[in-house]
């Protein structure tokens, strides 16, 4: 399929409020006339901001991008609790609490326990499966399901502003962090309740919202035959060391031939046994992703040792 496709690479996209992440990918696929496409991490319909979309051969690397850290700007509204922990749940009966009248100093003090590695309960309306059931489906049926607790990491939790009941935060966190749960838990810590009123994702790994394209940008660039120059190549997205091989061997990578010391024209970067590695041709084009069988320090001493264990062939 990839041979018939025109585009191969990664696009940072500015997702609008009201669309699901799947809707955004579908619209891009229709606009450019390609079947292959996917994203590296869901944004809820009520959230906007950066959605990293993989196209063509790059769809095979999406799982290597899901573990990257993310950055958000969140608006948390104090004084109301939502059953979904966000604005979507306001259609249900919600407890309206009195204006807490909290100072900036009180809010700053309440944020401190949420910095660093924390334990966080998955929100009730989440797509996570427990006992084979989606949590959000069980919640809609009124079923009580024990929700999992996960360890996540919040590296940066900055207070941007306080405007009446609205608290704006900058959050840099690990994969799997629920900002909805953070909003709910902060409200409980402050004793006034809270829900996530707005969310914008500003960074995903090496990608920034400042460099993203809107859907209308993508459609226009495709129509003008200019989209290809805005695609980020696979080898620039993955921060892995690489083994460069000759063109005759590169043409056979789809068959998974063993890669030995004599096959390597050049090593780019340093690596240890088990580290992720790229396999590239002489032009730097990524052919496959795998793991190092020996470390780069051993390369000169390994006469005919196998260097590379395949995980994904990208041809």
Q: Are 183 and 87 in contact (CB under 8 A)?
A: no
Q: What CA–CA distances, in Å, run from 294 to 64, 219, 253, 274, 279? A: 21, 45, 19, 8, 14
Alpha carbon distance 25, 5 (integer Å)? 16
**b/e for 178-200, b at 16 or more Cβ within 10 A?**
bbbbbbbbbbebbebbbbbbbbb
Specify the DSSP class assigned to residue 86: B
The angle at the Cα of 311, spanning 310 to 312, to the nearest 5 degrees, equals: 105
Alpha carbon distance 7, 37 (integer Å)? 10
Q: Which residue has the tokens 């196209």?
A: 55
Alpha carbon distance 303, 65 (integer Å)? 34
Catalytic site residues?
44
Nearest alpha-carbon partner for 51 in 36, 66, 61: 66
């Amino acid at each position: 399929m990839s041979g018939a496709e025109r585009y191969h690479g990664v696009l940072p996209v500015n997702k609008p409020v009201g669309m699901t992440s799947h809707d955004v990918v579908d619209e891009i696929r229709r606009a450019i006339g390609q079947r292959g496409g996917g994203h590296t991490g869901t944004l809820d319909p009520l959230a906007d901001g950066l959605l990293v979309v993989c196209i063509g051969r790059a769809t095979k690397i999406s799982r290597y991008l899901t573990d990257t850290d993310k950055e958000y700007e969140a608006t948390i509204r104090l004084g109301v609790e939502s059953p979904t922990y966000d604005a979507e749940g306001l259609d249900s009966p919600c407890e309206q609490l009195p204006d807490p009248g909290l100072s900036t100093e009180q809010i700053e003090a309440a944020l401190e326990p949420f910095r660093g590695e924390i334990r966080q309960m998955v929100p009730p309306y989440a797509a996570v499966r427990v006992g084979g059931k989606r949590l959000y489906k069980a919640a809609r049926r009124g079923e009580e399901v024990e929700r999992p607790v996960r360890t996540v990491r919040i590296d940066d939790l900055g207070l941007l502003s306080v405007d009446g009941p609205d608290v704006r935060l900058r959050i840099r966190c690990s994969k799997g962090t629920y900002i909805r749960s953070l909003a709910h838990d902060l409200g409980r810590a402050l004793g006034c309740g809270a829900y996530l009123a707005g969310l914008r994702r500003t960074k995903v790994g090496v990608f920034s919202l400042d460099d993203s394209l809107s859907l209308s940008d993508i459609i226009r660039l495709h129509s003008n035959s200019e989209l290809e120059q805005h695609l980020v190549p696979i080898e620039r997205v993955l921060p892995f060391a690489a083994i460069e091989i000759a063109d005759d061997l590169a043409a056979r990578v789809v068959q998974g031939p063993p890669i030995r010391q004599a096959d390597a024209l050049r090593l780019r970067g340093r690596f240890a046994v088990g580290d992720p590695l790229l396999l590239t041709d002489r032009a730097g084009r990524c052919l496959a992703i795998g793991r190092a069988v020996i470390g780069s320090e051993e390369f000169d001493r390994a006469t005919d040792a196998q260097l590379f264990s395949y995980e994904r062939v990208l041809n």
